[in-house]
Structure 1
Amino acid sequence: MKTYNNSTYALLGILTLNCRTGYEIKQRMDQSLNHFWKISYGQIYPNLKTLVTDGLATVKVMSQDGKPDRKEYFLTTKGEEVLKSWLKEPLQHIANERNEVLLKLFFSRHQPADETQSLIRHYKEELQKKIDTYEAIEEMIGTNYSQNPDATYWLYTLDYGKRTTKAAIEWCEATIEKIK
């Protein structure tokens, strides 16, 4: 069976959520997956074309008065089978985190300690904003999607984000103390 990149599998999954156009797909990804999987329009449209070419999705083109044609994408049975097969596969790799604050901290002996503390304090503030965003998303899911069978899994990924972000906040506090 042909293998695809993870962004293609993400698109297969998004199509199960009744997102039909490239714009709707991008909006849903920005609202949900963006916290752990980023994808651009420049990736979406070529991947959608591949899905159609490989029979994993179909496209319905509708003309609109005074606007470009509207393309709506639909997952095929084959696409659903490929998604399910990918979900069963073991992880191929654990992602390495690229973290600017850690990169700067690694070389921070070249700056005064108070500047390093300021860097970490700012990072902690940004992390707290992420927690606030995650809590708002959690409330929105509970309010608007409590009956959706996917909601439980959305909350699992959200819980991962909240827990790792809270751990990073604790790390900030401990590191600031050690620098003092």
Structure 2
Amino acid sequence: MPKENHTQYAILGLLTTECRTGYSIKQMIDTSLTHFWKISYGQIYPTLKLLVEKGYASVEDQAQDGKPDKKEYTITAEGEYVLKEWIQQPIQQLPTEKNELLLKLFFSRNLDVQDTLDHLDAYRDKLTDRYNIYLGIQEMISTQLTGQPDAPFWLITLDYGLRTTQAAIDWCEETKRTLRS
């Protein structure tokens, strides 16, 4: 059975926000969704075209002074229905994480312990950077976007990122203690 393409639902969902162009969708992906859902720039326009073909979105050319027309997309009633149906479906499976550090740790019997500790330190540093980015996003949503109807749900999603990142930082420290003993 082919794996379902959830990218169409992500883009439908973005069309329920203020995102109306491929460019604004890309910006929203780069600043928010990318932390938990990867969508390449090359997927956006083909997916928008598919959504229009299915009747889930409509497109309108908007004239711009001195520039080519831009395409503005709007979710249709049918698109809203399909998105709501998808959101209501239970989660089918837990995602499989691809994690280079875990793969290396699995085979680290073949490596000097100090090298493994160095890997853990570097990973922890990247996680700390990510955690700080999340804190910045949280501050921005809490101060600048509190009136947005999506803001509480964005904060809930962000809280997951903060908690799992903090857990991974804690795991790094505990793993280093284990390797040193």
Structure 2 residue aligned with 1:21: 21
CA distance in 2, matches of 1:71, 1:139: 32
Structure 1 residue aligned with 2:155: 155
Q: Percent identity?
A: 53
Structure 1 residue aligned with 2:91: 91
Structure 2 residue aligned with 1:70: 70
1:48 aligned to 2:27?
Answer: no
Please give the TM-score of this superposition, normalised by the length of structure 2: 0.94
Structure 2 residue aligned with 1:102: 102
SS of aligned partner of 1:127 = helix
SS of aligned partner of 1:59 = strand
SS of aligned partner of 1:62 = strand
Deviations along 1:57-100, one digit per CA (max 9) or x if unpaired, are 10001243543321110111111111111111111221000000
Q: Give the AA of the match of 1:131.
A: Y
CA distance in 2, matches of 1:17, 1:74: 10
Q: Which runs of 5+ in 1 are unaligned?
A: none
Q: Give the AA of the match of 1:85.
A: E
SS of aligned partner of 1:79 = helix
CA distance in 1, matches of 2:145, 2:4: 30
Q: How does 1:29-44 map to 2 (within 5 A)?
A: 29-44=29-44
Q: Which runs of 5+ in 2 are unaligned?
A: none
Structure 2 residue aligned with 1:127: 127
Q: Give the AA of the match of 1:87.
A: I
CA distance in 2, matches of 1:148, 1:65: 30
Which segment is superposed worse, 31-40 or 58-67?
58-67
